[in-house]
């Protein structure tokens, strides 16, 4: 099993460049991040080359965070802003060799929001195809992100089927899916054909995976049986310094 360090949470006290080096020193196989845009892309590309790591994914901009925004693509009337955020993410991903871009839906509801999201995803997929980039959508749980448009894997599956682009996939975050739906193993098996990336954290506290109500030894075994060979994203919140939480990383049978 291979693992990717999500640098949005792990080593968040370091610069993105230094966090990439920390992930390499800790033994991760890849990295991923949320919003890298404050760091020049050439600096990130250089750090990735120096460590021989790949940045597996990044997110589109949340929008006006001070105003409470958490994504733009499902907001009716904000198509220009949403597509500018998509263009920004794809340009950055292309500059650093990142294969996945997570298009964030935002806080919205209703048919108009669905239509806006699907139209913006169609745009994203068309632009991403020329760059050989996969577009990801991720259901978020309504405890951490109340009011977020995309909340379940069934909803995501319907959107993926409707948009009908081969480079639109599901970001399957075990933490969010467990809180909203449960049945992690069965859902992984059923959704495997449309999954583009898998993330994990303990439930319910979103800490390291060696605690909580999910047995990740078993879940990682299921993922391995599915033939998954892409690094899994460790997107958890360290309760102490990140290095002190990495006992799970080299556990027998996990890596």
Could you list the active site residues? Answer: 138, 235
Q: To which residue do tokens 């920390």 refer?
A: 22
Q: How far is CA 205 from CA 122, 179, 202, in A?
A: 35, 11, 6
Helical H segments across 130-182, by residue range: 153-163, 174-180
C-alpha 57/C-alpha 247 separation (Å) is 24
Reading the block at residue 45, the tokens are: 């590309």
User: Exposure of 221 by Cβ count < 10 A (0-12 exposed, 13-18 middle, 19+ buried)?
Assistant: middle
At residue 154, the 3 state secondary structure works out as helix
Percent helix, strand, coil in the chain, to 5, is 45, 15, 40
The dihedral over CA atoms of 31, 87, 154, 167, expressed in degrees to the nearest 10, equals -80
Q: What is the DSSP letter of 244?
A: G
Reading the block at residue 37, the tokens are: 């845009």
C-alpha 160/C-alpha 137 separation (Å) is 9
Reading the block at residue 154, the tokens are: 């069934």
Q: How far is CA 155 from CA 48, 162, 169, in A?
A: 35, 11, 13
């Amino acid at each position: 099993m291979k693992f990717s360090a999500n640098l949005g949470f792990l080593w968040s006290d370091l610069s993105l460049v230094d966090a990439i080096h920390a992930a390499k020193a800790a033994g991760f196989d890849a990295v991923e991040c949320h919003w890298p845009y404050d760091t020049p892309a050439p600096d990130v590309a250089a750090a990735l080359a120096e460590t021989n790591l790949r940045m597996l994914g990044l997110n589109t901009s949340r929008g006006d965070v001070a105003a409470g925004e958490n994504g733009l693509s499902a907001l009716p009337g904000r198509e220009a802003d949403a597509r500018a955020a998509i263009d920004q993410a794809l340009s950055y991903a292309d500059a650093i060799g990142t294969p996945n871009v997570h298009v964030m839906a935002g806080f919205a509801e209703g048919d108009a929001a669905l239509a806006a999201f699907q139209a913006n995803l169609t745009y994203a997929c068309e632009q991403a195809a020329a760059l050989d980039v996969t577009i990801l959508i991720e259901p978020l749980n309504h405890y951490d992100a109340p009011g977020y448009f995309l909340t379940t894997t069934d909803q995501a599956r319907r959107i993926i089927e409707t948009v009908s682009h081969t480079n639109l996939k599901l970001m399957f975050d075990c933490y969010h899916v467990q809180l909203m739906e449960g049945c992690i193993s069965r859902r992984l098996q059923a959704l495997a054909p449309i999954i583009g990336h898998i993330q994990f954290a303990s439930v319910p506290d979103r800490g390291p995976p060696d605690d909580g109500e999910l047995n990740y030894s078993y879940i990682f075994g299921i993922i391995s049986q599915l033939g998954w060979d892409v690094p899994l994203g460790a997107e958890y919140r360290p309760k102490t310094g990140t290095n002190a939480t990495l006992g799970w990383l080299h556990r027998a049978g996990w890596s």
